[in-house]
Structure formats: structure tokens, C-alpha cells
Amino acid sequence: MIMRRSLLKAAIFLLALLFLAASAPMYTQFGQPVNIVPKHSWENKDLSPDERADLVIQQMTLDEKIQLLHGMGWRTLLDGTTSVPGVRSLGGAGFIPGIERLGIPDLQMSDAAVGVARGAARSRYSTALPSGVAEASSWDPEIAYEYGDLIGTELRDQGFNMSLGGGVNISREPRNGRTFEYKGEDPILAGTLVGEEIKGLQNQHVIGNIKHYAVNDQENGRHFANSIIDKRSMQESDLLAFQIGIRNSGVGAVMCSYNLINGTYACENDYLLHHVLDEAWRFKGFVVSDWGGTHSTVNAARAGLDIEMPGNDYFGEPLKNAVQGGEVSQHQLNSMVHRVLRTEFATGVIDYPAHPKVVDVMHGFKVAQRVEEAGAVLLKNAENQLPLNASSIKSIAVIGGHADVGVISGGGSAQVDPAGGNPVITPGVDSGDIMALLPEWVYHRSPPLDAVIERAPQARVKYNPGNDPASAAALAKSSEVAIVFAVQHESEGADLPNLALPNNQDALIQAVAAANPHTIVVLETGGAVTMPWLDQVSAVLESWYPGIRGGQAIAAILFGDVNPSGKLPITFPKSEADMPHPDPTTRPAEPLTAAPGLPDPKVDTKVFDVNYDEGLKVGYKWYDTENRTPLFPFGFGLSYTAFSYSDLNVTPGDALEVTVRVTNTGKRAGQEIAEIYAGLPEGAQEPPRRLVGWQRVALEPGESKTVTVHVEPLFLSIYNVDRNAFQLVPGEYAIWAGNSSRDLPLEVAVTLQGR
């Protein structure tokens, strides 16, 4: 009886505690009180995202609608605060307060092109992934998905629910300062990979973003640059990449760019936002401006811009006045709000709110290393210099590139803060260079030197910084093998003046190669570089910006633990003279735009015209059409084994079915990327060939496999300006298979009916 009474008292006590807990206010992990909102009809997950958005809009005031269509100002970039009381910004790139009474959460945005940016300001760790062009060099949709999934995971772990990554601008201009962020020069490859990346990211209930829409293929003068391009060329290159990425991913947001396109700013461009994005592609997400990229209220809203960032100069009080005055209709306003809310429901931002937690560092390490190992490209390997034999090699000289402390990364909004701070303090450029005005060169603490020592414990490994070519050459001469690390820094805001390695590194490589015939060059670059020393070295590995595990991944390839399989997503020209636009631009870089003596964008408008007169001939299509031989062609990449191709067959249908047999003829297991190209009928007036598909295949020595590639009609079509649609031209098509755009040993012809 006593025990029963004790149990009864305990039960009453527990019920009282539960009652008190239920009646007490709840708090977020940031200490902000959250009132319990009564259940709303739109919380029914059985309803479609469109239905749920419409139900919310019916309950919203005009001020609440306006609130969802603009950010809270630039200051959130600096310290996570604003002048508005109660704002709960996490200090990311952008912040839009939600509507608490309706259960609509804050939008917490972060730059996340290659990982979650600016974590150091929040005392948070983020995985620095290899660059976007390194990801693209894998040609692997699974790698791209994993890349996005990791970014989405770490965004949520830090409390963010929207990414500002997803760059897919085509590499028309090899000197573009943001080449490292993007996915290369081919729209089908770039669009496919960014689509998979966004799918992985949105799998984590984070709003994905594809940018910079559109034809924003250079950095100098980007706020005033007027990209001049004909409609067909735009549709078949830059826009095609966006179309594929948006269609394949169901991305939540598209960011319009700073530049003008044929005389109209991107963020109020009726053709791009309304006719293409809305009408032709049926995009269901929202359009957000690049930061400071909004230039009007009425024109932008009518064209299809939904959110102004980062502030409210045009979509705050001016938009409210425009709605009240009838310049922007209530229907238009509701459509803008609908797209924002629909996206939040569709991606799970509302149903699955982000809650900060500790980042899984080791998981990030594994993903970063996998991406780099799949994306590094072996460009030269004379006499099988690589892989190095760790058991027999006696001495190694490691030279240059700050290889003793880390690997370089790209700059700008994509910059992921290095764990433990930047180990390299100096900016790394000559005094007076315009690049010195940009942020310092940042390195991640993954020293290749340490990784080489770990792989070859019996060898004598010595390091030379490479500042003095003579002393570096002396070390190389006394070593069995010399490994030179050469770096090139790229950053948002400025294009490269040329494709040469900066800071006298060409002379360094030449001096080392003259002293040691077994010289290996490891490039850490954002894009293509010229190589006047190529014939003098024994091997070249392009590692791009290799991320937080770059040193380990590079060493794994150099010593054969990993067989390289990456292929170039961009063409490497022999010199700038071979490019469509050989001369560097006269447009000033962003830090110099307002400097005395330079062109005034409001007066000298012609200086800011960017004429894409190469038209359809982008990247490898330029070199093929003009019959120019590049240094390394698009799609090129060596392996430690060899592959042969046979039995190419093409079966017409709704999609072409292309099969080809690939055989590993070497002595090592390896992975090959079988590339499929098409030549259109002569009447199509297209460049000689275009990439239409590919497949990665793993093969043991002596093993053969038949790979199948399905080529959809869009990839074989041209854009018909009169119809405002893609069209399959009737006639005979050539289908090639091989391992690069310039090595296509197999060809068959197939006749297709027009559509």
C-alpha cells in the first residue's frame, strides 16, 4: 500500500512537471523565444506546396508580403546584427525575417559555392571542398550529388536554410576570376553536374540556388558590363546550362546577375526572367538578385524579380507604394510571395527547420578527398614518371607553392575560412598589381610536403620555398625527383591579366627542370594556365584548388594509391593569341571601378560592352571551328593505365542509345570516362562537334565493359529563333566516341527525322 501511494505521488509529480513544461515558453538554440502557433491549415503536408502557399497568402497583410521580398541590409554581412530590433541573423550573406504568427521561418542565407563561407566570424568550422572546376573534372554526377549533399548538411548544421552557391556560368573567358567556382565550358556537362549538386543540397531541406543568371562570364566591370550576344548563341550555350540544371534539380532559387544583357540589367530583363525562365522553362522557384543587383522597382517586379538582396532600396517601401498606387498589381505581388512560400514548402524549409549542431569534420574530410581524387587531371606523364615508387625512391625535393603549410584556395564570396587561420600572411602578388587590391591569398592547412613525407618515409625529403630559382635548382639537382608546386590565385571581382603563372613561377619551373630531368609539376590553379616549360618537365598534375584534404589527395595520386581519372572541363590554350579574345579587357576590376583616370561606366559605356562575337564557338568549339590546336583539349586526362574503344553502335529512338565497348589494356585497375560527341547536319550551321553524353566506367586490367549513353533530343538540337524553341534538324548526324574532344577513334553515322 505504501509502495502504491509512493508511485501515485511520483506520477502526480511527473504530470505536474509535464504541465509546467508545456505551459512554459520555448526557446530556440539561439535563445530567441518562440511562441507556440496554433495549428494552421497550411501545415497539412498532404496539400501541395502551391496549395499551402496560397493558404498562407490569404492570411497575410500587405506589410507581411513586402517583408518576405527583401533583405535586411548590408550590415548583416559584417557582424550578424542589423539596426532592426529582434533580428535573428546568423551573420551569413543574407537574412529575411520570417512571419512568426504564421509559422514562416527566417531565411538564413550563406554563400556556399565550395563550402559554407565565413565560418570563422561565427567561430564555426566548415569543410573546404575542392573548387567547382575540380568537381566538374570528375565528370561524375554521383560526385556532384555528394558535393552538394555535404554543403547542404553543413549549412543546416550551422542553422542556415538557403545556399547561395550553384554557379554555372560558362567558361567563355579563360581569364575570368571566378572560373574556379564554375563547371567548365560545356553547357551539357555544366548543367548536368550543377543539377546533381543542387539535388544533393536540397536533399538536406535547404533551398538551393543556381547563379549568376545570365551571360555573366567575366568579372572586370561586372556591375556595368553589357553582355552583347545573339539569341541563338545565348540559348545554346549559357542558357542551356541553366536550363538543364534547373530542370534536373527542381532548384528553389535562381540568382540574377549584375550585368546587362543586350542593354538591359539581368534583374529586370523581361526576356530572361519572364519569357525564358517563367514561360519557356516553367520555373516554379523564386528569383533573387545578386547583392546590389536590383536597379528598379516596377520594371524588376514586372519582369520577374521576386527578392531584392541584401536590402530594401527598391523592394521595401518603394514596392509597397507601387502596389498601393497600382503600378505593381496585387496579383503580381501575390505571385512573387507565392513563389517564395511555395519554395519553402517544396524544399522542406518550413516542415524541417534547421537546428545548429556540431559539424562532422571527418565526414567532410572524406568527401573532400574523394572529390579531389576524382577531379585531379594528369596532363603529362613522360616515360611513366608517375606513380612514384615509395619503396625505392631515395630523395625528393619539394619546391614552391607554400607546400610546407597548405594548398591555395580561390577568393571572394566563395572563400571558406581555413581552420586555424591562414598559414600564409602575405597576399602573394607583386606590389602594384591590381590583384593586390583583392583579399589575401588564402591557404588551407593540408601541406603536400607532410603528405609526401608520410608516403615515402624512407626517402630524404627536403623543402625549398622557390623564391630563389637558383637555390631551388640546387636542391633539385641533388635529389632523385623534384616536385614543383605552382599556384595561381583567382577571386571574385577581378579577371586575371593573363594566363601565365604569377610571381616568376615559370622561371622557377624552368630552372628546376634544367637541373633535374625528373621534374614533376603540380598545378594548383583556378583554371587554365600557359606552360612554356611543358617540354622540359616529365609530368604535370592539375590539382585545381584541392580543398582541405588537398595535400593528402595529391600525394595519394603521386604515389599511385589513387589512379587519376579526371578529365578537363575546360580547354587549355597554348597562348592567349589562340583565344577568341586575345587581348585583356580594358574594363577596370571591381576595386578600381571608381578610381581616378579610369573609364566612367555612366559615360564611357562602350568600354563596358562585352561582345560575345564568337557566338556558338565557345571553348573547344572555337578551337575545332578555327582549326587551332590547344595545349590540352577539352575532355583530356591521362591515367596510369590505358584504354581502347571498339564496337560503337547507335540506335535511334526517343533518345539516341549509344553503346561502346571500353577495354583496359594496361596493367593497373583504373576508371575511364567514355565521351560521346555529335556532329550535326551541315545545314544546321553548327561547330564541328558537341559533347552529348559520357559515362564513367571502372575496369580491372584486361577487362572490357560496354557502356550505354542515352542522348536526349535537346542535346542534338539547335535553337530556332523564329520558333523561340529548340529544333532537331533532319539529316545525317555523326556520332563519335573517345577519350577527349580531340581523340575520337570511333565514328558512326545516323539519320534522324526533324522535330
Q: What is the DSSP string of 226-259?
A: EEE--HHHHHHTHHHHHHHHHHHHT-SEEEE-SS
Q: Supply the DSSP string of 256-289, one letter for each residue.
A: E-SSEETTEEGGG-HIIIIIIIIIIT---SEEEE
In sequence order, which ranges of 95-202 are alpha helices (DSSP H)? 132-137, 141-157, 187-202
- Please give the Cα distance from 345 to 282 (Å, whole number): 18
Q: How far apart are CA 222 and CA 593, in angstroms?
A: 10
Which uninterrupted H or E stretch holds 31? none
Residue 121 contacts by C-beta under 8 Å, 6 or more apart in sequence?
Answer: 79, 80, 91, 417
Continuous segment of H or E residues that includes residue 455: helix 448-455
Task: Tell me whether residue 495 is one of the annotated catalytic residues.
Answer: no
* Cβ-Cβ contacts under 8 Å for 483 (sequence gap 6 or more): 396, 397, 398, 399, 403, 448, 452, 519, 520, 521, 522, 558
Partners of 639 in the beta sheet?
A: none
Are the beta carbons of 145 and 196 closer than 8 angstroms? yes
- Which single residue is written with the C-alpha cell 592547412? 445
Other CB atoms within a 10 A radius of the CB of residue 731 amount to: 14
Is the distance from CB of 261 to CB of 231 less than 8 angstroms?
Answer: no
The continuous run of DSSP H or E covering 551 comes out as helix 550-558
Strands (E), 414-542: 443-444, 460-464, 481-487, 519-524, 539-542
Active-site choice (186, 290, 417, 450): 290
- Contact present, 219 and 412 (Cβ < 8 Å): no
SS3 421: coil
The Cα–Cα gap between 667 and 375 comes to 22
The C-alpha atoms of residue 381 and residue 387 are separated, in whole angstroms, by: 9
Distance CA 622, CA 352 (A): 47
Q: Kindly report the backbone phi and psi dihedral angles of residue 622, in degrees, each rounded to the nearest multiple of 5, phi listed first.
A: -65, -50
Q: What does the DSSP 8-state code read for residue 203?
A: T
Q: How far is 468 from 481, CA to CA, in rounded Å?
A: 19
Residue 353, phi then psi, degrees to nearest 5: -65, 150
> Distance between CA atoms of 736 and 85, rounded to whole angstroms?
63
As a whole number of Å, the CA-based R_g of the chain is: 27
Please check whether residue 650 is in contact with residue 748, taking contact to mean a CB–CB distance below 8 angstroms.
yes
Grid coordinates representing 195? 543539377
Pick from 668, 116, 569: nearest CA to 368: 116
Q: What are the residue numbers of the active site? A: 290
